[in-house]
Amino acid sequence: MFGSIAFVVWRESVEALLVIGILDAWLRAETRDTGRARMFLWGGVAAGLAFAGLLAAVLVGLADVISEDAQLAYTTAVVLVAAALILQMVFWMRKHGRSMKRDLQTQLSTAIARQSWWGVFVLALVAVAREGSETVIFLYGILSSGAAGDYLSGVGAGLFGFVLALLSYGLLQAGSRILSWRIFFRITEVMLLLLAGALLMTGIDGLIDLEILPRLSRRLWDSSWLLSDGDATGGFISALTGYRASPNLMELLVFVGYWALVFFVIFRPRRPIVHAIA
């Protein structure tokens, strides 16, 4: 099942293209030395991609050199980190998404005012490296969870997701009424939360196998007659949502606790801003 891989690459690539597009448009509008400025911009983009590639090489390299006994602990740790990063990213975007464009333009304006082209380079590097590093960890976590088969097929799914991202970005930039930025981020936010939950459940299974966490019970029920997580359809739903046909008590508690946390953070009432009276 490569839907999760294609989705992650699609979503993260669109966000990276959005950041690059904001920086590029601002440079063309606000600086006379456009050629030099864009050279530093795209140099930063290339450096950010190189950093993400280096991180991918490190993750794969570590997996190749550690012992078989340590493989389960390593992949479990990566899966849990990926789940935590996805959750953090969603919450961060909900809080800062509206001001992201303004913040980027402010930082870029400061660099231009100081004629600091290396500032442009660093800003692009950090922005792309952040998106690229998140993508690498997410994808490695998905592959480690067993949601996909071999790495070559995973690369194909990633390329499909990137092509889809280019097409989506074009539609979003065109200002289509069918596909707006708000709709895009809301839909992908839900899918990311589902994916984070699935990775979390895989990590919990790993911790149970490592005997770090107890099962707390035998299987509570068996709904495989309705939807088995071992066949094609059920396996896809399991990889996307963390569904278990025969959960134990620990899995159930973690699953319920995860979604309770998500709904609490998203729907908690915001505190009214109280202005002090002098």
14 neighbors 165 (Cβ within 8 angstroms): yes
pLDDT of 179 higher than 80: no
Model confidence at 275, in pLDDT bands (50, 70, 90)?
very low
Q: Is residue 231 part of a domain?
A: no
Q: Is residue 215 part of a domain?
A: no
Q: Is residue 12 part of a domain?
A: yes
Q: Is residue 113 part of a domain?
A: yes
Domain count within the chain? 1
d(CA 222, CA 261): 26
Token representation of residue 91: 């919450």
d(CA 165, CA 171): 10
pLDDT at 175: 65
188 or 116, higher pLDDT: 188
Which among 49, 131, 116 is positioned nearest to 85, based on CA atoms?
A: 131
pLDDT at 160: 87
Which among 136, 195, 165 is positioned nearest to 1, based on CA atoms?
A: 195
Phi/psi zone of residue 25: left (φ > 0), alpha (ψ -120 to 50 degrees), beta? alpha
The per-residue pLDDT of the chain, averaged, comes to 79
123 or 85, higher pLDDT: 85
Q: Is residue 244 part of a domain?
A: no
Predicted model pTM: 0.78
Domain that holds residue 115: 3-208
pLDDT at 278: 35
Q: Is residue 259 part of a domain?
A: no
**Torsions phi, psi of 4, nearest 5?**
-65, -40
Which among 195, 266, 203, 235 is positioned nearest to 9, based on CA atoms?
A: 195
30 or 147, higher pLDDT: 30
Specify the DSSP class assigned to residue 150.
Answer: -
d(CA 252, CA 247): 6
Q: How many CB atoms are located within 10 Å of the residue 115 CB?
A: 10
